[in-house]
Amino acid sequence: MKKDEEYKTNEKSKSLENKIMESHKQFLEAIKDTYYLAVLSSLSLAIAAFTKDTLVGASTYAIVSASLFLCAFLCSFVVKLAPNAPYVIGSYISMVVGIIFLVLVIFEFAQVVPLVFKWIFPIFYAMGIIILVQMINYYRKIAKKSEYKIPRFLGSITFFLGVSTIPILTTIFVGYYLSEYLKYPLDFYPAAFVVIALIFLIIALIVFLAFPIFGLLTVIVHIFIKKKERTSRRCNNVRKSHSRTKKN
């Protein structure tokens, strides 16, 4: 009896050790897959430390960006250990907003370093247009090829918003460069021009907010319907197999 008890305790301890070792492997793999977000967070903190006395705005944006990248790292790390949809969405949102704040840091540097203003922003603009065209093409395919009305409707709206974003971005980009080179005071422009510019900025803000929201809704609905189709097909296949076995 004593030998049996000792054997059982040894087996329990071994199984516990194996579980700890397996969890440690998962822990290391999760860090390996998500460490770059922690690196981005530490780099943003380094930027904030170096610019705290000279560029207060850049330092503030860098601290916010570091916090968001750290949040994205934690969410991604949790997803690797225990997959969960809210943490995935939190990771995406934190990473995207963190990148936006890093771009704001570059804007602050551009006020001081003219070379940044001349070359970095055109590169960002070109990359943004390329990514935007690919996204528009993706939503166009959903709007055309989807068999259901809701994804087609959402895809069409997102496609229209994406196409509208390109001329709006181009106008803002050209206007920003002209304002930096011309540098006329606000009193120089007529009142009608200022009103039109404000209306344009409001429309641009609405489009910029609506495009990612409708795009996310389109993707979620599209994936949900695809999963529903797969489950229904599996259920039909299972029913057919059961009916065949009953006949036999």
Give pLDDT tens digits for 84-129: 777 788 888 888 888 888 888 887 877 777 776 677 777 777 888 8
Shared domain check, 20 and 102: yes
Among candidate residues 51, 78, 112, the one where a domain is terminated: 112
Shared domain check, 144 and 23: no
Shared domain check, 88 and 135: no
pLDDT at 230: 77
Among candidate residues 58, 78, 112, the one where a domain is terminated: 112
Q: What is the mean pLDDT of the chain?
A: 77
pLDDT at 220: 82
Q: Which of 94, 100, 105 is nearest to 49 (CA)?
A: 105
Among candidate residues 69, 90, 112, the one where a domain is terminated: 112
> Residue 94 contacts by C-beta under 8 Å, 6 or more apart in sequence?
68, 69, 71, 72, 75
* Average pLDDT value for residue range 142-157: 80
Residue 10 has pLDDT above 60, yes or no: no
Split into its structural domains, the chain has a count of: 2
Distance, CA of 115 to CA of 109 (rounded, Å)? 10
What is the DSSP annotation of the chain? -HHHHHHHHHHHHHHHHHHHHHHHHHHHHHHHHHHHHHHHHHHHHHHHHHTTTT-HHHHHHHHHHHHHHHHHHHHHHHHHHS--HHHHHHHHHHHHHHHHHHHHHHHHHHTT-HHIIIIIHHHHHHHHHHHHHHHHHHHHHHHHH-SSHHHHHHHHHHHHHHHHHHHHHHHHHHHHHHHHHH---GGGS-HHHHHHHHHHHHHHHHHHHHHHHHHHHHHHHHHHHHHHHHHHHHHHHHHHHHHHHHH-
* Average pLDDT value for residue range 134-149: 81
Shared domain check, 60 and 140: no
The range of the structural domain enclosing residue 27 comes to 1-112
pLDDT at 79: 82
